[in-house]
Structure 1
Amino acid sequence: MNRVTLTVVAAALLALPAIAQQPQSQQAPAAAGAPASAQQRNDGAASDSHGFVSATRFGQRDGASLYAATCAGCHMPDGRGAAGAGRYPALAGNPTLEAAAYPASIVLNGLRGMPGFANQMDDAQVAAVVNYVRTNLGNRFTADPATPDDVKALRQ
């Protein structure tokens, strides 16, 4: 295995205890009225149990769900980051999140070891996860929230 693969695997393993402590739904998708292989999203499109609409697109629409699916594995569910098999910066209490354009650009394009999600998230999803991180996890950056139009401009 190469170093990047080992780093990603180690980060995932480090996140398991925190993820395991999160409350789980008591009903299986089939019991909740959804097909066993899919769950309905807010917009009516089906997504699988991992939150993907397809093999390359996330199905979650709200910032908290997107954070849990795409960010918490490295930055931790509480946003405090991690160190060890790599350095995953804290998002909690991070002053670099004050201007929405900076974290939106990172979500789209990645930074150092972090992959970009421009091909996996649409503009509204990027704005949602950026706004979630900027207003939760100990952050209170409510001024000038990211909009889908802002994200669209960053893509160009």
Structure 2
Amino acid sequence: MNSPSARRLGNIVSASFILALGATAALADSTGVVFSDGNKFLEQTGEAIYASVCQACHMEQGQGAVGAGKYPALAKNEKLEAAGYPVYLVIHGQKAMPPLGGMLDDEQIAAVVDYIRTHFGNNYTDPVTTDDVKSSR
């Protein structure tokens, strides 16, 4: 890259790359999207965790899906009545459900399990505590 045209091309490519990164960051900031850093999810509310982590498989309204795998419906799901069951599944996973216990802390797990147990036609209002989560780890 000793010729002036090669240096100019290199500068254009570098500037384009920097602008693209800046545009991506600005877009992310302006929409409120949170990008997780490393192998931990940053979202804190049950709703945000569900939208970022769970919704891709269990769908927006918790209706579940069948395709490359079978993703059970969370909507009107009687198996969610006992809080220990979804807590265990979120931590340890099962079948197509990946174990998320290493990527979510106790507060995040309690929050997302509380969210799915009180939304999508579920009305299981006894709260999940961080002690419940700790005892399932």
Provide the TM-score with structure 1 as the length reference: 0.67
Alpha-carbon distance between aligned partners in 2 of 1:73 and 1:29, rounded to the nearest angstrom: 19
Q: Deviations over 1:41-65 (max 9, x none)?
A: xxxxxxxx4441x210011110000
TM-score, normalized by length of structure 2?
0.76
CA contact (8 A) 1:51 1:69 kept: no
Q: Tell me if 1:149 matches 2:128.
A: no
Deviations 1:15-64 (A, max 9, x none): xxxxxxxxxxxx945558xxxxxx7xxxxxxxxx4441x21001111000
Q: Which residue of 1 aligns with 2:79?
A: 96
Kept in 2, the 8 Å contact 1:100–1:130? The answer is: yes
Over aligned residues, Cα RMSD in angstroms? Answer: 1.8
Aligned residue number for residue 45 of structure 1:
none
Structure 2 equivalent of residue 23 of structure 1: none
Alpha-carbon distance between aligned partners in 2 of 1:140 and 1:119, rounded to the nearest angstrom = 28
Correspondence for 2:38 among 55, 60, 68: 55
**What is the distance in 2 between the residues matched to 1:31 and 1:153?**
39
TM-aligned CA distance change 1:58 to 1:104, over 3 Å? same
Instruction: Tell which structure's C-alpha radius of gyration is larger.
Output: 2
1:138 aligned partner, one-letter code: G
1:55-91 CA deviation, whole Å, 9 max, x = no partner? 1001111000000011000000100000122111000
Question: How much identity, in percent, do the aligned residues show?
Answer: 45
> Structure 2 stretches of 5 or more lacking a match?
1-25
8 Å contact from structure 2 (residues 34, 43) kept in 1: no
The one of 54, 62, 70 aligned to 1:71? 54
Tell me the amino acid that sits aligned with residue 86 of structure 1.
G
Equivalents in 2 of 1:88, 1:30: separation in Å? 31
After superposition, the Cα gap between the structure-2 partners of 1:31 and 1:115, relative to the gap in structure 1 and judged at 3 Å, is closer
